[in-house]
Amino acid sequence: MQSIPVDTARLGVLRCAIAPEAKISNPDTQEVKKDRDGNTVYTVAVTVRQDRRRISVIEIAVPGEPKGIDEGQIVKVTGLVAFAWAMGDRHGVSFRADAITPVPGLTAPATPKGGGGA
């Protein structure tokens, strides 16, 4: 499987959409996925906004639990790589990073609950 380095500087603002969760490797037994070094693998859903109109959400796997990341938090992703995968007739692109850290002082603006509007 070939890893493709991703230049995060070109991705625009990266924001946590879903806080870190331990990745489950076997849904039947609820076994948690570990990397080669025995670290628990976590996934973080991150929004990528390259322009003012489109937002994409990608799930990034990272070794060890990222600390201090809340939903809406702007984050820095270090060592992001993408890799294509295929299993039978299914295929896609997955993402892995060395680390995901919060960007100090930058958080999401408060959004009123219920969506408001007249």
Backbone angles phi, psi at 64, to 5 degrees: 80, 155
Query: Measured between alpha carbons, how far is 10 from 77 in angstroms, rounded to an integer?
Result: 12
pLDDT tens across 1-39, in order? 688 999 988 888 899 999 999 999 999 999 999 999 999
CA distance 17 to 108: 11
Model pLDDT, residue 21: 96
- pLDDT digit string (tens) for 63-112? 999 999 999 999 999 999 999 989 899 999 999 999 999 998 755 554 44
Beta-carbon count within 10 A of 101 CB? 15
Tens digit of each residue's pLDDT (9 = 90 or more) over 31-45: 999 999 999 999 999
- Per-residue pLDDT, 82: 96
Greater confidence, 6 or 113?
6
Domains, the chain, in order of start with CATH, read 3-102 (2.40.50)
CA angle 94, 96, 100 (to 5 degrees): 135
Give residue 108's pLDDT: 52
- CA–CA distances in Å: residue 3 to residues 14, 25, 45, 46: 21, 21, 20, 19
115 falls in which pLDDT band (50, 70, 90)?
A: very low
Maximal CA-CA distance, the chain: 54
